[in-house]
Chain A
Amino acid sequence: MSFAPRNARLRDLALLLGMAVAAAAAYYAFPDNLAFATRVIIMMIFVLSLDFVLGVAGITTLGHSALFGAGAYAAALCAAHGWSEPVLGVIAGAAAAALVALLSGLFLMRTRGLTLLMLTIAVTEVLGELVNKFSDITGGADGLDILMGPIFGVLKFDFRGQVGYIYAACALLLVFAFLRVLVASPFGLAARGIKESPARMRAIGAPVYWRLVAIYAIGGAVAGVAGALSAQSTSLVSPNVFDFQLSADALIMLILGGAGRLYGALFGALVFMSVHQVAASVDPFNWLFIIGALLLAVVYVAPAGLLSLPDLVKRQLRFSR
């Protein structure tokens, strides 16, 4: 954490610009794969929210898909009931997910460690069951298909997925900028402090519990954005948004990339999904071998995630001299 705010801010701005450029480059380089690129972007947003909650604030959760799903269903229900403008749907999704995170956070943040982990899983399972139960409203196991209107009433979603991609990319840049600013702020510092030592934070008078609830709610809102975008780009929501597999995948992507610095979330999501995409087209039956080996390689070689590789290499070079 640099204490030269101006330099840091300039650097962040440059990196944000770099991300925008990269997104634009992808748009032109892979015109036929925009659907995949959009899915990667949505995943990046989801993993960013997990990084904020887990990597920065230390809340161990395997139930993040509860918030993703809440956002997805909120956005879908909006569209199904006449408010088919996408941005409205995303806002609704973020709000719904924040609410779910707030309510569940009230009792979740009183626990830690394995207990917290298991409870987050329990909350997700209960939500999934409820969605299935109230199938008249939610469409049940078959899903709820929706028709998305044009963005701001003007930009229609096209067949090639171009509008969808740009829409998602803009959302990613906004979300990333927001989280970066938040993490660099005193609020973010408090979150890091809580991760390192809740006891010390309490000793200096910080309201740890309420901070954690707030962090969880904010992280939840971002996850809700990802869920809403997913429902909108698929124009369908089904109970698989509450899958445990989704939470687990997000966690894998985060740890793969490196938790705590936000960039790791982006990188991990990109690497994991790209490997899956390539491996699946080569030999879908055996892709688990590849990903299993990759995970083990990362843990034993670069435990702090792929983002720490440059540092490791530097250190190796320094030692070998």
Chain B
Amino acid sequence: MNTFASICIDGVAYGMILFMISVGLSVTMGLMRVVNLAHGGFAMLGGALAHFGMAALGLNFAAAAALAIVVVVALSAPMERLLYRPLYRMGELQQVLATIGITFLMIASVSYWLGTSILEIRLPSTLSGAVNLGFRTLPADRVFVIVIGLIVIGALYLLVERTRFGVKLRAAVDERDAAACLGIDTAKVFSRTFALGAALAALGGIMGAGLLPIDAYYPLRYMVLFLVVVAVGGLGSIAGSFLAALGLGVLDTAARYLAPAYGTIFFYVAMIVILGWRPHGLLGRTES
């Protein structure tokens, strides 16, 4: 029983981090149909800037995190206009090549600027250490991640279901051309969504730094992980990403508790089974 509870808690915490980083990717891939392999780069940039804010500028955690997210959003706007917009019309292979190129440039920039060692992000003392839940303790930063993750998904739900932007976003994802015909400025929706995705990635990178440490090669290390979550969840589906991230997180954690000798085999076999059963992901839309 104890192990079961542990698996759930640790799995959910892990899953939340995966969700926060991957949800932006799912939305942008579903909306713009761009294979954006540079998404992990935004998470890394967020983490690197937060590290810089704390280590070099002496800011506290909250200020550094806020600064990092703002800077990443500011960077994403010109990137979307200059680099990504031409990609919308191009084929998948070109998108893969270009976004890999962008990833390489991000990695090269960060390693030039901050070196190749780990860029740690010190959480404030209230968030370090452990929280006693009675039958076991949970690291405080995991609790924090779970809370933030729930806030994020709640906020996203409100944004997508209850705001005008959300309506336009859903329309553009479902039927891009029809939406454009109805007067929705799809270009604006795209750039706003892209900025949102980048912001979420940056947030996820900062929050997840305890688990997925930030260093210059972060995007290459974890790119596959984020793609798996997005593919299993289904492109364009926020709820799908949430389910996939939590499910995979719990599954991977369970495997590590119960059968560590088989490592990541369980994770990938699960992925193969799920995608075999539902090729468009758990909640993905079939391509029109």
Contacts and interface: CB of A to CB of B under 8 A. Distances in A.
Do A and B touch each other in the complex, judged by CB within 8 A? yes
Interface of A: 54, 60, 107, 110-115, 117-119, 121-123, 125-126, 129-130, 133, 244-245, 248, 251-252, 255-256, 259, 285-286, 288-289, 291-296, 298-300, 303
Determine chain A's interface SS by DSSP, over half rule: helix
B228 A255 contact: no
Chain B CB within 10 Å, residue with most, of A121, A130, A251? A121
A129 B276 contact: no
Contacts of B100: 248, 252, 295
Contacts of B103: 292
B263 A255 contact: no
A303 B89 CA distance: 11
A308 to B, nearest CB: 12
A293 B105 contact: yes
A292 B108 contact: yes
Contacts of B131: none
A295 B275 contact: no
Sorted nearest first, the 9 A-B pairs with minimum C-beta distance are: A295-B101, A292-B104, A288-B108, A292-B105, A122-B268, A118-B231, A299-B98, A289-B108, A296-B101
A289 B105 contact: yes
B45 to A, nearest CB: 15
Interface in B54-103: 83, 86-87, 90-94, 96-98, 100-103
Interface string B234-274: 01000000000000000000000000011111001101100
A115 B269 contact: no
Contacts of A123: 268, 272
Contact of B268 (A112, A126, A259, A298): A126
Nearest to B29: A114
Contacts of B97: 251-252, 255-256, 295, 298-299
A118 B275 contact: yes
Which of B98, B104, B269 counts the most chain A CB atoms within 10 A? B104
What interface size band does chain B fall in?
35 or more
B231 A115 contact: yes
B184 interface: no
B227 interface: yes
Contact of B94 (A112, A122, A303): A303
B220 interface: yes
Contact of B224 (A111, A119, A121, A299): A121
B129 interface: no
Contacts of B107: 288
A121 to B, nearest CB: 6
A115 B104 contact: no
B176 interface: no
B135 interface: no
Given A248-B100, A292-B108, A293-B105, A111 B94 contact: no
Nearest to A114: B231
Interface string B18-55: 00000000000100000100000000000000000000
Contacts of B272: 107, 119, 122-123
Nearest to A125: B268
Contacts of A113: 287
A294 B100 CA distance: 11
A300 to B, nearest CB: 6
A288 B94 contact: no
A118 B279 contact: no
B122 interface: no
A158 B111 CA distance: 40
A45 to B, nearest CB: 20
B231 A60 contact: no
B98 A296 contact: yes
B235 A114 contact: yes
Contacts of B235: 114
